[in-house]
Structure 1
């Protein structure tokens, strides 16, 4: 919502019920924000609050102090759309004011805008050319991204999720049994999207196929491995990338590993401490990225390259590379037990 519009919903605490009703009719957003002279939020009023006040005997000329909802739900600036939407759903509200650290009003989230899908001009490249050797014999006659999960190929799950976030152009990098992928998805028409293909003559790694992009994308584009099943919000990692003005962004996930034994700390022969089955935490590559078109200059056409190598090349050129911490359910379907987990009723929520 534009700043000019939401600011029209702000009234001072000295307002009357009649003035609030007039404001509600003019803005048609079903909420009035009450602030002091310095712009600090003092509360909110809805048409429901007005009705309850009138039922209690208040009149149109009555002041609003007694009916202002003073403990209104608020959010800070920068909160993700998904989190705001979740808060709205959980609290059964359709508007949430945005305030800064001092409690001043800086915006207003409206359900219709938060829940709507923003059309994205950005493309998504899906790396679907891997051999899938760890998943043999499942991949002898079926490319790994086409293995069924809950009745649909993995690739279809990825495309559907990205489509629900406004992406409509997909580029599939194919090699092993790639014809099966092309036969199933075609030009994307029956899925309501447009699909193009990068046909690798030989395996080019997790980044090398990007050297085949012709023409180059006009906008930053999302890249995902075709065997990653996740609830990550592709639009949010793209927005994160743009905010940080990066050359490349990598989604990372915290991985925890518990040592199976008690660890003894020693200095020479002296025991200096103990730690019982410590937990080690590290960030791992989640296989989802956002890349600037200019970053493709670091690739050689038809030359193998993996994503970590591309990121290292960008760093050597002093280009900014950033990590997007993700917490959503995520599963890299690389082994038979991963496939079994993905196919289980809990697989996509793990």
Structure 2
């Protein structure tokens, strides 16, 4: 997607500043956000012209000419649903919002009609046992469990290909031939798939050391048991815009404590927080790794991705953090599997 950040203005921006934002941005509108990144309105060239005709000066507020009720959509909306909505509403820009109303991305009609093409490779790690799902994975790898009428791994591959990534590696171990037989060389899905065969389980990053060659371009790495609508291109663009050796996608995880939480010191009460909600960023199991990150992975050695990232930091390298607000579900437990079935057709077509 085109970068929309240059098109952002605040509530105190003038009409002249909105014009500058339209000209410097790439989406042909200015976006008016409040201090919490919530979308308040959109300013188009037509809005400005109509405002000037009403006598509003260039020094006037952009909020006086903006459309305060623009068409927007949840960030979880699928590509086809976005395209349908934009056609239905005759709009060329569609702001995508998270549950709190914060602007996550701006989709443009022209981009939806384009077929992107990223030369960067993608590694999907699909060699795990999925032991927490019990009998479901006795005769098949977890990524091959059916969700929404097709294997979970097929949804991941289709999503990756649809976003313009066709150079795909899949790491396999447990019941590997089931995966290889299903996907073959990937041509049926518009991909070129190669397999990284782990003769023993090498952890969540060991497959990096088994690739036929170290990629020249940053590689997108994702677990093979995740359902998500994350924009991999936006993630890659974010990584490329930093000096980081790797980027970790993270998801906010909230826990509501249904009691008063007591803080004490030396046996005496300090504070009481009544039924607080605690929040942390957790790993989303999706990464971008640059060429130098491969220096921290020994060939054929078991290693997990957190260890690779910790080694980068220990060597004074940088690991960027990319918060995702799109739909994301890690299918690790039976309740997650049931949730995936319940939500699949609401999120994926």
Superposition TM-score, scaled by structure 2 size: 0.71
Q: Tell me whether 1:209 sits opposite 2:212 in the alignment.
A: no
Residue number in structure 2 paired with 1:71: 65
Report if the CA contact (8 A) 1:229-1:348 is conserved.
Answer: no
On the 8 A contact 1:330/1:348 being kept in 2, the answer is no
Normalised by the length of structure 1, the TM-score is 0.71
SS at match of 2:322: strand
User: Superposition RMSD on alpha carbons, in Å?
Assistant: 3.8
Equivalent pairs, count: 284
The answer on whether the counterparts of 2:76 and 2:327 sit within 8 Å (CA) in structure 1 is no
| Residues 1:277 and 1:186: Cα distance change in structure 2 (over 3 Å) | same
2:300 to 302, 305, 308: 302
Q: For the structure 1 residues 226 and 73, does the alpha-carbon distance in structure 2 shift closer, same or farther, using more than 3 Å as the test? A: same
**In 2: Cα distance, 1:179 partner to 1:314 partner:** 34
Asked if residue 219 in structure 1 is aligned to residue 233 in structure 2, the reply is no
Which residue of 2 is the match for residue 258 of structure 1?
256
Would you say 1:249 and 2:247 are equivalent positions?
Answer: yes
1:337 aligns with 2:335: yes
Whole-Å separation in 2 of the counterparts to 1:82 and 1:267: 45
CA distance in 1, matches of 2:316, 2:248: 16
Cα 1:249–1:114, aligned 2, differ >3 Å: closer, same or farther? same
Q: Cα 1:93–1:275, aligned 2, differ >3 Å: closer, same or farther?
A: same
1:44–1:72: 8 Å Cα contact kept in structure 2? no
Q: Deviations over 1:162-220 (max 9, x none)?
A: 11111111100000001100000000011111100000011111111110111221211
- Specify the alignment match of 1:13 in structure 2: none
- Where does the alignment leave 5 or more consecutive residues of structure 2 unmatched? 3-27, 31-42, 57-61, 69-74, 95-106
- C-alpha separation in 2, matches of 1:332 and 1:43: 39
Report the 3-state secondary structure (helix = DSSP H, G, I; strand = E; otherwise coil) of the residue aligned with 1:205. Answer: coil
Distance apart, 1:344 and its partner CA? 1.3
The residue correspondences of 1:66-105 to structure 2 (distance < 5 A) are 71=65, 89=86, 92-94=90-92
1:44 aligns with 2:38: no
Does the 8 Å CA contact 2:227/2:329 hold for their aligned counterparts?
yes
Q: Cα offset for 1:92?
A: 3.9
Secondary structure at 1:344's aligned position in 2? helix
Residues 1-350 of structure 1 mapped to structure 2, 5 A cutoff: 44-45=45-46, 65=53, 71=65, 89=86, 92-94=90-92, 111-113=109-111, 115-345=113-343, 349=347
Contact kept? 2:76, 2:326, Cα under 8 Å: no
Distance, in Å, in 2 between the alignment partners of 1:318 and 1:261 is: 41
Q: CA deviation at 1:251?
A: 0.3
Match of 1:100 in 2: none
- Secondary structure at the counterpart of residue 297 of structure 1: helix
CA deviation string 1:32-69 (max 9, x = no partner): 99xxxxxxxx97259xx99xx9xxxxxxxxxx957999
Cα distance in 2, alignment partners of residues 192 and 240 from structure 1: 26
Does the aligned pair in 1 maintain the 2:92–2:108 contact within 8 Å? yes
